[in-house]
Each structure stands twice: as structure tokens, then as C-alpha cells.
Amino acid sequence: MGYVNLDQTYNPSVAGAIDNIDYSEDRIIVDFTLTAQVGSGFLIEQGGNTFVANLPGLPTSLMWEPGALNALEPGDFTWISGANAGAMPDFSASGGEISFGFLRSSMAGGLNVHGIDNWRVTIHRCP
């Protein structure tokens, strides 16, 4: 399931081309009573398409643990939905508005109770 924050967006055609993006979050498993694993990813939406960059590893602890992706470029994202199958995000000055969010996926046929905190996106503009 994906969650996108529509209140905070970035438009490269107005604010400048993006060189790369850093993403970080803290994550936790709150309840291990079910056997599923929870996958994590960083979502972006642009031009009616949704893309994900998967975080390595899975949250496995009842303690908060960090997850991060650094220096993400368009090729680091995988298209997951929208009209243009196989498309990549456009970070250039002609690219449209981008919304940011996160993805949680349940593996192994169940669902664990989990949490996310300190969600952060840092945009590095082209010089």
C-alpha cells in the first residue's frame, strides 16, 4: 500500500532540475503475532505515474531502525502504476510536479503491525 503526501511537492520546471534525491525513514515492527514480512519503499508520483525505489532489508525489530536511500536518480526507480508502463521519472527542468511518499508491502501472506517515523526527502538540485 502506498501513501503520498500531496501537501509537499517539487516541480523541476519551476524550481530547477533535480540532480538526485535522498530518502530516509525510521521503521518498526509493532506486533510479530502474524508471520508476514513488511517491505519498504520510497514512492514518487509524476504525470499520473507512480514509481518506487525499494529500501534494502526489511524491518525486523520491535525497536526503531533506520532505512535510507541516497543519491537516487531516475534509473533507480521502477514504474509500478499509471498510463506509461515502463516510464521513468523526469528530473529535468522540463519534468512535471513530483509528489513524495512511502510504500509498505506485505509478504508471506499476512500482515504485521508496523510504524514509520522521521520520514525525510532531500532534493539536490543540479548546479
For the chain, what are the domain ranges? 2-84+92-125
Instruction: List the one residue out of 18, 34, 24 whose CA is nearest residue 107.
Output: 34
Distance between CA atoms of 47 and 40, rounded to whole angstroms?
Answer: 23
Query: What pLDDT does residue 52 have?
Result: 96
Where are the extended beta strands (E) located within 11-112?
18-31, 37-46, 49-54, 65-72, 78-81, 98-107
Tens digits of pLDDT across the chain (127 residues): 677 888 889 999 999 999 999 999 998 877 766 555 667 899 999 999 999 999 887 666 778 989 999 999 999 999 999 999 999 999 999 999 999 999 887 665 555 677 889 999 999 999 8
State pTM to two decimals: 0.88
